[in-house]
Amino acid sequence: MEVVRAVYSLAVDEARVSERAAALALEQTVELPRSSVRDPFVEREIVGRVGAVEPDSGGGFRVEILYPLATTALDPAQLLTVLFGNASLQDDVALVEVDAPLSLVEALGGPRFGIEGLRAATGVEARPLTCAALKPMGAGPEDLADLCRTFARAGIDVVKDDHGLADAPFCPFEARVAACVAAVERAASETGRRALYVPNVVGPPGVLGHRLERARELGAGGILAAPLVLGLPAFWELARDAGLPVFAHPALAGAARVAPSMLLGTLFRLYGADAVVFPHAGGRFPFDGGVCRELADRLRRPREGLRPAMPVPAGGMSVERVEEMVGFYGADAILLVGGTLYEAGPELEARARAFVERVHRAAEETAE
């Protein structure tokens, strides 16, 4: 029987761990006391089974639960219910690992472009890609297009919207995409290299399909979306239908009792992200180096049926940290410097160019 393997960290002592693990397996499937499960089909094919139980470093236990695949109905929303629906309401449990069987991997689909598709789209073969963000919310399409052209001329590979850029009267989505794509084209006619412009897509599901279509028609090079803001099932549909590389943004993804490297590294990839933005250690967010390394590893490690995805370390990075980041992530990464570029004011293009050159140089030196 195919199973989804989930691992939880349980903050309980040894005397209680067996009972607590069994309760968790029931809670996430039949939501009934064991004694009330009488149907042999339900016992055999539905109830979660407790697997390995071992002490963890925090004084609690790592507990493996094996869920029959049938419980998920191969539905990207139902999968979340099974993995952590009710358990999320109990404060002694955290979800730390999910391992999907191949048929679930294929149902979810994972990255449609992945690292290879992003390299093909940008024409960058072996070094890390560079990325900058269009800011701030409140700027109009023409102002953002000017910035876009500046970054593209400076040699930035991917120019993405800030994740706060929605579809507002002061900056309508279509006008922004049209202006920024035109800016990228103008820069390409000057430099001979075309940057990827990646607009942010946000909204209730009913508007996403139309935005996606317009982004494609207008010539966007990818889209940015926040899976936890849209909801993972809506993100999954977006990735399935995009026809463009999908960059995942971590907004709203941090407050959960779900291991961040697993959520952003494993689940975002499974649900279809081609590139995942996350805060690198030492910026404005408390992810440490261990979490970042693990996250990048989860995005890139070989996995049957699943393309590798690009890590996009960000979150208050600066040009000064380029060498460190290239050393840390290697070539299969997209380095995103956001707000700190803007401190250069009128020297923005020179600053962006310095970023680009440092990445290229650091990659060459690492390769030597």
Which residues between 158 and 217 bind a second copy (CB under 8 A)? 162-164, 166-170, 202-206
Minimum CB–partner distance for residue 147 and a second copy (Å): 12
Residue 145 Ramachandran class (φ > 0 left, ψ -120 to 50 alpha, else beta): alpha
Q: Which of 7, 10, 234, 312 binds a second copy (CB under 8 A)?
A: 234
Residue 8 binds a second copy (CB under 8 A): no
Q: What is the end-to-end Cα distance of the chain in Å, rounded? A: 49
To a second copy, the closest distance from the beta carbon of 140 in angstroms equals 9
Least distance in Å: CB of 238 to a second copy?
A: 9
Stretch that binds a second copy, among 14-22, 26-34, 180-188, 288-296 (CB under 8 A): 26-34
CB under 8 A: which stretch of 87-95, 111-119, 146-154, 304-312 binds a second copy?
Answer: 87-95
Q: Which of 70, 105, 175, 182 binds a second copy (CB under 8 A)?
A: 70
Site for a second copy in 284-323 (CB under 8 A): 284-287, 315
Cβ count near 191 (within 10 Å)? 13
The nearer residue to a second copy, 27 or 349, going by C-beta atoms, is 27
Closest CA to 233 of 72, 90, 366, 365: 72
Taking CB under 8 A as the criterion, which residues in 239-268 touch a second copy?
250-258
Q: Distance between alpha carbon 355 and the CA centroid of its chain, in Å?
A: 23
* CA pair distance 181, 156, nearest whole angstrom: 14
Nearer to a second copy, 118 or 277 (CB): 277
Quote the CA–CA distance of 204 and 167 in Å, as a whole number.
12
Q: Does 229 bind a second copy (CB under 8 A)?
A: yes
Considering only residues 33 to 62 of the shown chain, the ones binding a second copy according to CB under 8 A are: 33, 35-37, 39, 41-42, 45-47
Residue number, 112 or 119, with CB nearest to a second copy = 112
Residues 117-156 close enough to bind a second copy by CB under 8 A: 133, 135-139, 143
Among positions 1, 13, 19, 90, the unique one binding a second copy when judged by CB under 8 A: 90
Which region among 184-192, 225-233, 302-310, 323-331 touches a second copy (by CB under 8 A)? 225-233
Site for a second copy in 320-339 (CB under 8 A): 338-339
Closest approach of a second copy to the CB of residue 361, in Å:
26
Query: Distance between CA 267 and CA 299 in Å, rounded?
Result: 9
Number of residues near a second copy (by CB under 8 A): 88
How much is the CA Rg of the chain, to the nearest whole Å? 22
- Report the residue from 8, 61, 84, 268 that binds a second copy according to the rule CB under 8 A: 84
